Amino acid sequence: MQKLLLLHGATGSSQQFEQVAALLNNSFEIHTLDFSGHGGKPIPDEPFSIELFAKDVLRWMQQNKIATIDIFGYSMGGYVALYLAKNHPEKVGKVFTLATKFNWNPEGAAKEAAMLNPEKIVEKVPVFAKALEQKHGENWKTVLIKTAEMMINLGNSPALPLTSLTEIQHPILISVGDKDNMVTLEETIAAYRSIKNGQLLVLPQTQHPFERVNPKRIAAKISRYFSE
């Protein structure tokens, strides 16, 4: 059966794919993993980075004796998948990204990072704070702080400048929701146009949080793309 790896977004975990994975299990051998520090995994001494998370994937592939794999990546997970396609092309087959941010700059990164202040989240959105604690354990605040630092670093030095996407030769489907308030349609189109074998998908009535993405719709899109 065809193997498919699902990669979660920033401050997320593999748990967010439970519904989609269940819908795909009959067609694919579904795999998930938690990036370093996420989902209760130990917090690494080194900073969070796309390079670190790419190493997580490569280590997981080695441990599971998988030479090459197709990847669906949500948000940051899509960025990691494309980083792997560029820098370790032999490890990646087809890639499908959803809600992945490409236009990293200092101003935008600072705005995104400011939303990850754990003390403000506890004060203003305690329900979300509780959900993050359930997802990551007692280290959830550290996960947010290190993620914010990673975003600042990406703003100053993107791991995948738009021009670098031209080097990717893999079949890539770049998608975004039309109601996404974190990733613009313009940056998504620019990324799609930079990839030689790229395709573009805009999902109607779809916001950024994966929890608000219609699981049946995205599972159907995933199944169709990776079965082609």
pLDDT score, position 1: 86
Task: Give the model confidence (pLDDT) of 88-138 as tens digits.
Answer: 999 999 999 999 999 999 999 999 999 999 999 999 999 999 999 999 999
Task: Give the model confidence (pLDDT) of 163-174 as tens digits.
Answer: 999 999 999 999
3-state helix, strand, coil in the chain (%, to 5): 50, 15, 35
pLDDT band at 60 (very low <50, low <70, confident <90, very high): very high
Task: Give the model confidence (pLDDT) of 126-162 as tens digits.
Answer: 999 999 999 999 999 999 999 999 999 999 999 999 9
What whole-number distance in Å separates Cα of residue 208 and Cα of residue 75?
8
Using a cut of 0.85, tell me whether the model's pTM lies above it: yes
Q: Answer yes or no: is pLDDT of 38 > 90.
A: yes
Read off the amino acid at residue 191: A
**The two three-digit tokens of residue 147, written as one number:** 């993620």
CA 205 → CA 31, 178, 201, distances in Å? 28, 6, 13
**Looking at the DSSP assignment, which residues form a beta bridge with residue 70?**
4
Q: Answer yes or no: is pLDDT of 8 > 90.
A: yes
Superfamily of domain 3-103+161-227: Alpha/Beta hydrolase fold, catalytic domain (3.40.50.1820)
